[in-house]
Structure 1
């Protein structure tokens, strides 16, 4: 029932919730929203139709299965699914509270493309850091807010600071200890060193703990050590290769191939270090040299 209620909730703000033009299950959720279907009736319809495609596609990324299984499909033999130990470990993890905001962020990005009637591959997502949101514009005057920046960025970083790997939180209702940081500092845009490059683009934004970003000995307006440039490149490539909803925005901002994206970041790094000739890295002994 939580699954159906989430579908029904999203239908209230975004009428289209699938690539297909019609769905008996989605129509049942609409009827529930209109008060024409009871909770028990919606539950029965969900059991009958709601998971026809969800279970089969859950472990597929791109065109192949992921190695980690969070459940086994036993509908044919036991009329259900069996959760694995991997799922239980995931839900016991300190970052479990971040899963719902991240899933919501991905959902909102995809449904925005569907409801604008454009392929997700051409959805251009912009950033408003003052409002802490990602948004799209449909014309010169109409702006559609999608989701919070932190929620959209957290998936790759696995609940850890981009620089020092210490835990960060983004869960709603908590005090946020994750700052949205410009990898190449915003100051570069003010002095005109980056020309037409969008320094507020998703490609240049990471989540950092408050200590690394603005604490004693923090990064502030300095240029990160060169090891973090490779980490940023890997982060962007990972989001692109995993077909994350921000894929096409990142490609438009950084390049269509891995070689072009690496060259783009190297050029930005050279411009940045020419303007601000000082490298920074965390002083904490807990910093892991391995990439996230």
Structure 2
């Protein structure tokens, strides 16, 4: 996939698993979050019993607010997690059942993206010999990188988006994700109420590979970081009367503070055509992902790639008619999308 081929870093291989893997169950997200926690361990071998505690904990936590964690009609493992949540079994019993039932498919499927295994593995399956998984040097190298602290939030955000698609239980063509500019969150309108899903920053960061959309400098989604990203409208908010659905996910990007509101920032200017092409490419990442951002982008911009390109070009033409000035950033990092 171009997502990691254009920049074959370990960070982007990891993100491809979270963003583009098949979503028939939430187990891949739970396994990813568990492995990220295990970075604190000094041993590369993780037994299934050690893995079972965080894995079942994450599933149980999500079941409390999202009862649908799998697309099949039944699961003995999910039944066990629900029994634990109701106080019908204790933690020791849950861990035993997790070892027996929880990892049957997810360990084999974890590295599969777009029907094939990615080139870099973060663990090896040693269930037959050592009754566990062995973390590879790729994982420990990943843990030392600057993007590692963002992965838990990115995984949680993706998990919440997929849960919302399952929860709605409607035709894919009806699924929509919208943006609250005040709260900086994504939500789903549901009849007469709205369901807040997750942080917009957490959801978008992985698709931008942890870099500012404009200058490609590093950004963070951690609230205390000096590199905390701004959520920016590619076509400025002041053009809301001219642009179609200016608050749509298609028009939202993460930007560093310098690009968004620094001395030479974008403000109400329109980004140049090269950046428009980059927006199209970033939006195609959404399209190649699974529920529900794919369906949202198709609704907002078109059913085919050609229609989506035409949509963006039309918005650009309308924007330039109102906002005369064009803007381009000072590049601060390698352009990877």
Q: TM-score, normalised by structure 2?
A: 0.80
Tell me, yes or no, if structure 1 residue 149 matches structure 2 residue 200.
Answer: yes
Deviations 1:224-261 (A, max 9, x none): 12211111111111221233631110111111111111
Query: Distance in 2 between the 1:184 and 1:125 partners?
Result: 19
For normalisation by structure 1, the TM-score amounts to: 0.91
Helix, strand or coil: the match of 1:99?
A: helix
Distance in 1, Cα, partners of 2:212 & 2:291 = 20
Aligned to 1:86: 138
Aligned to 2:251: 204
Comparing 275-284 with 219-228, which one deviates more in the overlay?
Answer: 275-284
Verify the 8 A CA contact 2:120 2:138 in the aligned structure 1: yes
Q: Unaligned regions of 5+ residues in structure 2, if any?
A: 1-52
- Shift of the 173–11 alpha-carbon distance from structure 1 to 2, 3 Å rule, reads farther
Is the 1:73–1:80 Cα contact (8 Å) retained in structure 2?
yes
**1:14 and 1:173 mapped to 2: Cα distance?**
29
Q: Which of 79, 85, 95 is the aligned partner of 1:43?
A: 95
Unaligned runs of 5+ in 1: none
SS in 1 for 2:141: helix
Indicate the larger mover: 238-247 or 40-49.
238-247
1:291–1:95 CA distance, 2 compared to 1 (3 A): closer
Relative contact order: is structure 1 or structure 2 higher (C-alpha 8 Å, sep ≥ 6)? 2
Contact map agreement 2:218 2:227 (CA 8 A) in 1? no
Question: How far off is 1:16 after superposition?
Answer: 1.3
* Cα distance in 2 between the residues matched to 1:125 and 1:241: 16
Count of residues paired in the alignment = 285
Residue 107 of structure 2 corresponds to residue 55 of structure 1: yes
More deviation in 236-245 or 143-152?
236-245
| Paired position in structure 2 for 1:283 | 330
Q: What residue is the counterpart of 1:12 in the other structure?
A: 64
Question: Separation in 1 of the partners of 2:148 and 2:202?
Answer: 13
2:125–2:133: 8 Å Cα contact kept in structure 1? yes
> Are residues 287 and 225 of structure 1, via their aligned partners in 2, closer, same or farther at CA, if it must alter by over 3 Å?
farther
Cα gap change, 1:120/1:2 in structure 2, threshold over 3 Å: closer, same or farther?
Answer: farther
Task: Give CA-to-partner distance per residue, 1:240-288, whole Å, 9 cap, x none.
Answer: 123363111011111111111111111111111121121111235x354
In the alignment, the residues of structure 2 paired with residue 252 and residue 71 of structure 1 have an alpha-carbon distance, to the nearest angstrom, of 38
> Could you tell me how far 1:118 is from its partner in structure 2?
2.6
For the structure 1 residues 121 and 60, does the alpha-carbon distance in structure 2 shift closer, same or farther, using more than 3 Å as the test? farther
How much has 1:119 moved relative to structure 2?
Answer: 5.3
